[in-house]
Structure 1
Amino acid sequence: VSFGSWIGMQLLMRRPEIEGFISIAPPANRFDFSFLAPCPSSGLFVHGDKDRVAPLKEVLALIEKLKTQKGILIEHAVIPEANHFFEDCIDDLQTVVGAYLDKRLGMPRHAPPPARKERAKPAAPQVGNG
């Protein structure tokens, strides 16, 4: 989120095995994202419409620049009423990110998580009177 999204995008440029990204509240007005030319993979930008730290206008300019690259799909989600830290909007943020991950990973939407097999717990050691 925020500064972390800028750092994450730098990592994306240095690691060719990364196949996608999710950038939340990127501070395009405060940090230089020009290193993303060209952006090596598709991804999602998520932003709150009440974000005053990183105004939507600046983020949209970055997204539009990245969308011009062939073979790269840049998606953008705006969460209504969300500020820079998504206060009172975390559930909406989780829903948007979860749906995107389901789509990218080829999972059915709202699929239940895979069942985990329970391991047998080791028996508690017996303390004897001896």
Structure 2
Amino acid sequence: MPEVIFNGPAGRIEGRFQPSKERNAPIALILHPHPQFGGTMNNAIAYQLFYMFKERGFAVLRFNFRGVGRSQGAFDHGAGELSDAASALDWVQTVHPDARACWVAGFSFGAWIGMQLLMRRPEIEGFISVAPPANLHDFSFLAPCPSSGLIIHGDADKVAPTKDVQTLVDKLKSQKGITIEQQIMTGANHFFENRVDELIDYCGDYVDRRMAMSEV
């Protein structure tokens, strides 16, 4: 799994990239949780999402937001991190220009950034938002949400409580032209302790179903 360094708006960005053998393979971008609470690209959920997409033949990139690991810059409360994500997507598209599809997957803070990226990048056709912190960050920019995706969270999540995520899901489900799938994992907390494998199985199943539909 090659280490990569590419230029972002605040300097160099450190990442890990898994290319695909197929020229037109889909691409996926993985976004890690909050940098100020220990979030890195090696977070267990970000790492497992990376491998889930890799196993399905995607070209996949995960990277450290500014100020994390060897990525330059300093935490920017979301605005700079969104620019980092856009630069990361640009880089993957340069390396893999013939991709037939583009996905973004994020956990917690990364889910918030990922859903903002959806609004900027019409080529993103699928998303996975793991435990989106709808109580901590404003998601009203999803007006309307341009892509179908999966929102998956636990009902024992004290960081991003179910009622706040449910409000977000209900709002998105009312929009026409997209399909939002929701999966609530009973007993799972924000970090999906002892449940990460189950979480990734749900996500993989969702990607499989979406990709099968796109090939019909």
Give TM-score, length-normalised by structure 1. 0.80
Do 1:28 and 1:58's aligned partners in 2 also have CA atoms closer than 8 Å? yes
Q: Given that residues 20 and 43 in structure 1 are in contact (C-alpha distance below 8 angstroms), is that contact kept between their aligned partners in structure 2?
A: yes
Distance 1:83 1:93 in 2: 11
Letter in 1 for 2:191: F
Letter in 2 for 1:19: E
| Gap regions ≥5 residues in structure 1 | 108-130
Deviations along 1:46-101, one digit per CA (max 9) or x if unpaired, are 00111000000000000100111111100100112211011100111011001101
Partner of 2:163: 57
Task: Specify which structure has the bigger relative contact order, considering alpha-carbon pairs within 8 angstroms and separated by 6 or more residues.
Answer: 1
Q: Does 1:25 align with 2:102?
A: no
Match of 2:115 in 1: 9
Shift of 1:11: 0.6
Selected match of 1:78 from 166, 172, 184: 184
Q: Aligned-residue CA RMSD in angstroms?
A: 1.0
Larger strand proportion, structure 1 or 2? 2
Unaligned 5+ residue runs, structure 2? Answer: 1-106
Number of residue pairs aligned between Structure 1 and Structure 2: 107
User: Offset of 1:20 from its aligned partner?
Assistant: 1.2
The structure with the larger Rg is 1
For 2:164 and 2:190, locate their aligned partners in 1 and report how far apart those are by CA, in whole Å.
Answer: 13
Secondary structure of the corresponding residue to residue 141 of structure 2: helix
Q: Give me the whole-angstrom Cα distance separating, in 2, the residues matched to 1:19 and 1:89.
A: 27
